[in-house]
Amino acid sequence: MRRPYTLISGDFVATGGMDRANLALALWLAKQGGPVRLVAHRISEELRAFPNVRFIEVPKPANAYMLGEPLLAAAGRAWALRTRAEGGRVLANGGNCVVPGANWVHYVHGAYASEPVGGVLRQLKGHASRRLYLNDERRALWRANVIIANSERTRADLVTATGVPEARVHVVYYGSDAERFHPVSSEARAAARIALGWPEERRVALFIGALGDRRKGFDTLFQAWARLNVHADWGVDLKVVGVGAQREAWEAEARAKGLSERIEFLGFRRDVPALLSAADLLVAPTRYEAYGLGVHEALCAGLPALVSRSAGVAERYPEALRALLLDDPDDVDALIRALESWKTNAPVWAPHVAALSESLRGQSWDAMSARIVETMERLG
């Protein structure tokens, strides 16, 4: 395959669900040997090593994606026109560039209205950016010839939010990195806990997600944890991976409630596979999740994951693990019951988690990328 491909996205890097997926596709295309043009703010060093990859670097004023969006769209349109004139293929992401070709949807702005936190200016900025994103999303998806959705949930949401024909939307689930995310032996798990300084006698639950607004549901988890730790026999610590505008406020709240020893805020981490190897559970009471790569990777690592039933990744759960799905991310009582049920039933669920882990690890990032490209080649 030698036709040129132009991919338009904010970043092609290994952090973040959307960025990781875009990186995987770019790497697969680069390995095929044809010309690959990446219109973006950032790309990984791994991509820079390919002589057939051309990076069209787009500025991001004040390090703000909202300010960089018009520049990304302008550069993307210019390279899309050139690539299509050469008989190539073009792939944009959601509303980031209105071009003919393919569009890969990782998040539907019309499906969830985030609640900005902070001062009046920050809230005004949040509302203004949402209006902009909604308009761009609708225009871009109607312009696209073929749309790739990362879950059936995303497919339904974007059809409802934008009115695009359902037949134009094709679901391709995210792939897996089985070398980094896989179950480990009890000996390896014990070694990982020692390396992290976690006591062996207490179980550990992880929360992985941004702390900038309420979307990931940390407020519900915090309330549940405060109530569970009233009982001395709970015996489970919570480790929080993520940054955001609310992190310091949550740390202060934990201190005020005497939970500093039971909830530890780890900030941004690059060693997530090691954290998953050492943990016992992932908790994700998200209010909106188009897919949920963090949950996917936890399952690949062999961890049970409590996640909202509405998240795209929940579609992958078999009937035997439906007890791990949360009906309402605002229901603290239900989350407490689910956590208590996990503590009791983890051994019963273990073989089903192992089977799901094996199934998810069976589709690599390369297999995902090949399917996306096949869809683009077939449908334009």
pLDDT of amino acid 214: 92
Structural domain including 111 reads 5-175+364-379
59-77 mean pLDDT: 91
Q: How far apart are CA 110 and CA 236, in angstroms?
A: 37
User: Do both 225 and 95 map to the same domain?
Assistant: no
pLDDT of amino acid 172: 98
Residue 180 belongs to a domain: no
Q: How far apart are CA 109 and CA 93, in angstroms?
A: 12
Which of the two residues, 148 and 233, has the higher pLDDT score? 148
Instruction: Supply the mean pLDDT for the chain.
Output: 94
pLDDT of amino acid 247: 94
| pTM to 2 decimal places | 0.93
Q: How many domains does the chain have?
A: 2
Q: How confident is the model at residue 116 (pLDDT cuts 50, 70, 90)?
A: low
199-216 mean pLDDT: 93
Residue 139 belongs to a domain: yes
Which CATH number covers residue 319? 3.40.50.2000
User: Do both 373 and 339 map to the same domain?
Assistant: no
pLDDT at residue 95 is higher than 80: yes
299-319 mean pLDDT: 98
262-277 mean pLDDT: 96
Distances (CA, A) of 125 to 66, 132, 139, 216: 9, 11, 21, 20
Q: How confident is the model at residue 86 (pLDDT cuts 50, 70, 90)?
A: very high
Give percent above pLDDT 90 in the chain. 88
Helix (H, G, I), strand (E, B) or coil at 232: coil
pLDDT at residue 239 is higher than 90: yes
Find, among 87, 69, 62, the residue nearest to 8 by Cα: 69
pLDDT of amino acid 347: 96
pLDDT of amino acid 25: 98
Q: Are 15 and 47 in contact (CB under 8 A)?
A: no
> What's the 3-state SS for 62-94?
HHCHHHHHHHHHHHHHHHHHHHHHCCCEEEEEC
User: Do both 207 and 115 map to the same domain?
Assistant: no
User: Do both 15 and 160 map to the same domain?
Assistant: yes
